[in-house]
Chain A
């Protein structure tokens, strides 16, 4: 099982290197693609990428841990990010946060046990005139209220 998993990762990374190149400036696009496919960037994936690009695994780890949209830890299939910056704060993000925690049964920084949802704080997402803002993977929700939270969660679970 583990070996099969590793083979799969290796093949995946070989394809990504073919797509983006093996120069250092291909590193982040490669990591972004791994994240999009697998959610997490595992130790094994980091080592494999490092070997392919001819750099130290610690360099790759340094990059993965620097950026908040890259993660070495497993994340849910849907990463929910709530903006906590000032304009969304003034627009009532705290109430939305409580409702998200209640409806998901997790706290910020956690992932649901079924691996579906991760809940995280984020900084200003560039829709400050329509806060509170919520990003679910790449999809942006604006003017979110506590009542709308369950609606949003339902629409994610069974997309129309």
Chain B
């Protein structure tokens, strides 16, 4: 039913499965963490936390029971690269998880797979069973004496907020997916209160690649603050939507060039919770130090109404807010009402200003990343498309 989404050469297809794992298990856990740190890799799920640092925290956290969680909740609008990775290179993901288990001293890994991806489960279970059969999981995993590690799959149940790592852990524990206060961070107190590493699907796959090719290879690609290649999910008004691999630091213009998105009016980078970049900013770089993203790129052609875009995103957040804290629960509803007023040409400039203040309050006062980032698209659209927003006003009046 689903067609292939891969559009250019992806490094993962050139990484022979198994080699990264073997290379990593030759090292001491500390040396393995050092390789990850030296590569400069930062989390591929969006927030961009340095992976080596995270593993180091979990490794040094006291406790003899620890967990490795692979975040395959992939709910950010416009993202689908994790689905593609799991369909094509699941072995690399499981290798990365196994390496994490070895590095931090965990014996249990959990793949948290979003409910929408239930159709992937059978293949993934098969892959895990094969790995058990080959001795890559289980007692003496990967042939390493004294290292036991296994992975099981936990299905999500349809909740975007469960991609947030502490909400994900709540869900795993059998509760409502309501984000926790941080600190404590999962690396010190995560699943069942134990030290837990949570990483994105793509992060784990890159770790396997880094162990196979070396930290220097990874570090040699990208920018100083954003190392390595990255997978991008590209959709919207482009000729060739799909999954692409580009070095971190590629400009928006460069990306549009490669994907056939010429003539775009704006590009949403980082999904609904990211920023909307207008055409006169297309020279900006996609990197943690400029416009950050977990890989979601949505392109808007000249015919699109930016208010429609803002409305769609806010409908998404209004529904997906867990409702635990007021800035997010009420704030998204208010912003959505505001956008609808704008669409009808019934919003005063003063009220729009107040909405922007509310949006800024949400960014600082919300409990988790959902509420903190949900106003981003609204704010960037109001900032960059003022003329369009108000001409709507005039036209409707």
Contact = CB atoms under 8 A, between A and B. Distances in A.
Interface of A: 23-29, 31-32, 62-63, 66-70, 84-87, 89-90, 122-131, 135, 138-142
16 contacts: A23-B174, A28-B157, A66-B176, A67-B177, A68-B157, A69-B156, A86-B272, A124-B75, A124-B76, A124-B316, A125-B116, A126-B80, A129-B241, A130-B241, A135-B116, A138-B118
Interface of B: 1-3, 5, 74-80, 82-83, 114-119, 154-160, 171-177, 192, 233-237, 241-243, 268, 272, 298, 300, 304, 308-309, 312-313, 315-316, 319-320, 322
- Interface pairs A-B: 3 shortest CB-CB: A27-B174, A69-B158, A67-B157
Nearest to A125: B116
B313 A140 contact: no
Contacts of B313: 86
B214 to A, nearest CB: 32
A126 B114 contact: yes
A26 B173 CA distance: 8
Nearest to B191: A25
Given A24-B173, A29-B154, A87-B298, A129 B115 contact: no
Contact of A32 (B1, B155, B192, B272): B155
A123 B174 contact: no
A68 B159 contact: yes
Kindly name the residue among B157, B312, B316, B319 whose own CB sees the greatest number of chain A CB atoms within 10 A.
B157
A131 B119 contact: no
A87 B268 CA distance: 11
B363 to A, nearest CB: 21
Contacts of B154: 28-29
B286 to A, nearest CB: 17
Nearest to B240: A129
Contacts of B316: 85, 123-124
A141 B2 CA distance: 7
B145 to A, nearest CB: 30
A65 B363 CA distance: 27
Contact of B172 (A25, A31, A129, A130): A25
A69 B78 contact: no
A77 B3 CA distance: 27
A85 B80 contact: no
A126 B174 contact: no
Given A32-B157, A129-B242, A90 B236 contact: yes
Contacts of B319: 123
B158 A25 contact: no
B309 A127 contact: no
Nearest to B157: A67
A114 B313 CA distance: 35
A41 to B, nearest CB: 11
A26 B298 CA distance: 38
Given A86-B272, A129-B241, A63 B174 contact: yes
B174 A25 contact: yes
B77 A123 contact: yes
A73 to B, nearest CB: 15
Contacts of A86: 77-78, 236, 268, 272, 298, 309, 312-313
Nearest to A138: B118
Given A24-B175, A123-B77, A128-B78, 9 more contacts: A25-B174, A63-B175, A84-B312, A87-B298, A90-B304, A126-B117, A129-B233, A130-B3, A140-B116
